[in-house]
A and B are shown apart, each in its own frame.
Chain A
Amino acid sequence: MIKDEELQTSKATRRASMSDYLSPRARAIPPSGIRRFFDLVSASKDVITLGVGEPDFVTPWHVREACVYSLETGKTQYTSNSGTPELREAIGQYMNDRFHVEYDPAKEILVTVGGSEAIDLALRALISPGDEVLVPEPCYISYSPITALGGGVPVGIETFAKDQFKLTAESLKASITPKSKLLILCYPSNPTGAIMTYEDWLPIAKIVEENDLIVISDEIYAELSYSGNHVSFASLPGMKDRTIVVSGFSKAFAMTGWRMGYACGHPDLINAMLKIHQYTVMCAPVMGQVAALEALTNGMDEMKRMVESYNQRRRLVVKGFTEIGLECHEPQGAFYAFPSIKSTGLSSETFAERLLMEAKVAAVPGNVFGKGGEGYLRCSYATSVSQLTEALDKIGNFVHKIKMS
């Protein structure tokens, strides 16, 4: 945590370099581990990449076309701060149809610039300096830095392959202190592909209730659930008012570049997020909102086809890693496999770097996702079957070579 006196920038001495002008909090944010690896990969040629955290589908044409048409008809203005009424209505309908949670589009839904902005707004609206934010790890990389930026203290809760990377009641309980305020959940999980069933959730919900926690539930991969329907944390008994559901169109509807997301929650919380949102971005881009509405209105069949296609490839990679001799728990959601590379004796970073240099396959070392990620590799299977097959061959040869040496 950063102490208050460190936050004061002293005027007394002249600053030696431009970075001395930065706020201590901004300076303290570690650069993303993914970024470093990105530079490394970009410098290499002819690489097959399993490092991509986005769908390999282009946004379906009817969605793109809806946006083009709206531009042609001159839809180029600001929208209501919280998003167009039609889109909020459609999101409300969708949340109810798919996940059985009812939200009032007028007060409980906010359209944001990607799920990313929704996460930022929720954390900004809720964190006071010193608040502890519980984050099951390995997890998506933005939660801890944004928490720290707001003066909060991220508290990682390690999850394990033996539990299929699910959050367990015991480990949650063990991490709670009087300062615990928030719990950030992300299931289906990036990077582990873990999911939580209704039965898995119940003891977690009980602890949340007992300790008066607020939950930010990042459900952006909800549709990419391969063994039964996704269970929204907000749909659990008593949890709706305590939960801000964060989601978006990037993954399920193959719309990453559109930057369309949303948050659903209690009117008081959404209203605070809306205040910050209106001062920082005014509203999400209207073109994206038109496209998102089209996706929700006419895009469900196409979305389900894409999900089925990920599922086919999921089976392929899990079998592939197992045959190579890399233990791989079965991911039940998202589009990532998270095999263990511990049997090679290499660290995640070394494995990933050597795999890139020697086998020309890129994947993300597990340690960048926080506690419990060391010893694993995140491999996205949102890539063509032929590329996956080739990548698996190459990884197989590479692992064989290492184990022989």
Chain B
Amino acid sequence: MEKLKTDILELLKEDARRSPDLIATMLDVPEAEVTQAIQELEKDHVIVKYATVVNWSKVSDEKVTALIEVQITPERGRGFEGIAERIYLYPEVKSVYLMSGAYDLLVEVEGKTLKDVASFVSNKLSPIDAVLSTKTFFILKKYKQDGIIFEDYEDDQRLLISP
């Protein structure tokens, strides 16, 4: 079952719209088993969501994204968890990672304009007591995200017929 689940996850990671029927055929297992495995994966929040990977730079109302290195003082008893939560609950925050190294949290913030993001940092993030310092880096271009290359390139350059 564990192997089947991993195989299913890999097929869904490539394309979340694949049906249990298709997956069952590709993996040569009964469809009922696939359906059950997917239900369990959803219930256990292994499959968190079926979201779409969007290249926003191709959409007219473009977005601005920044990565922010945040240094914080951990809280007694809770470490980083409480502050991380205070940060990730903001809808502007797209992702938060606890990091090893020179800073503690890596926060991805998205806004409509540069000003939006800057004001989030100065009005919401920096004022949190435990936050010692922030360093903001604006993303200029996304080349690849979640294993998916954003650049337009010819991905099938083969001849149409070959022996």
Chain A residues with CB under 8 Å of chain B are: 32, 34, 37-38, 41-42, 47, 49, 51-54, 56, 58, 140-142, 190, 312-313, 315-316, 319, 362, 364, 385-386, 389
Contacts and interface: CB of A to CB of B under 8 A. Distances in A.
Given A34-B161, A53-B163, A190-B163, 16 more contacts: A34-B163, A41-B160, A42-B161, A49-B161, A52-B161, A56-B158, A58-B155, A312-B26, A315-B27, A316-B22, A319-B25, A362-B160, A364-B161, A385-B18, A385-B22, A389-B22
Nearest to B27: A312
B161 A54 contact: no
Contacts of A47: 160
Contact of A385 (B15, B28, B160): B15
Contacts of B156: 56
B162 A54 contact: yes
B12 to A, nearest CB: 12
B161 A38 contact: yes
A251 to B, nearest CB: 12
19 contacts: A38-B160, A42-B160, A49-B160, A51-B160, A52-B158, A52-B159, A52-B162, A53-B163, A54-B162, A58-B155, A141-B163, A315-B26, A315-B28, A316-B22, A316-B26, A385-B15, A385-B22, A385-B26, A386-B15
B23 to A, nearest CB: 9
A399 B115 CA distance: 60
Contacts of B18: 385
Interface of B: 11, 14-15, 18, 22, 25-28, 155-156, 158-163
B86 to A, nearest CB: 40
Contacts of B159: 38, 52
Contacts of B14: 385
A54 B14 CA distance: 21
B156 to A, nearest CB: 7
Contacts of B28: 315
B25 A316 contact: yes
B4 to A, nearest CB: 13
A362 B22 CA distance: 23
B27 A34 contact: no
A37 to B, nearest CB: 6
Nearest to A40: B161
Contacts of B155: 58
B154 to A, nearest CB: 10
Nearest to A191: B163
B161 A37 contact: yes
Contacts of B22: 316, 385, 389
Given A52-B158, A385-B15, A386-B15, A142 B26 contact: no
A38 B22 CA distance: 31
Nearest to A190: B163
B9 to A, nearest CB: 14
Smallest CB-CB A-B distances: 9 pairs: A312-B26, A51-B161, A38-B161, A53-B162, A49-B160, A41-B160, A34-B163, A52-B158, A141-B163
A200 B25 CA distance: 28
Contacts of A386: 15
B18 to A, nearest CB: 7
Contacts of B15: 385-386
Given A385-B15, A386-B15, A313 B163 contact: no
A142 B163 contact: yes
Contacts of B25: 315-316, 319
A71 to B, nearest CB: 21
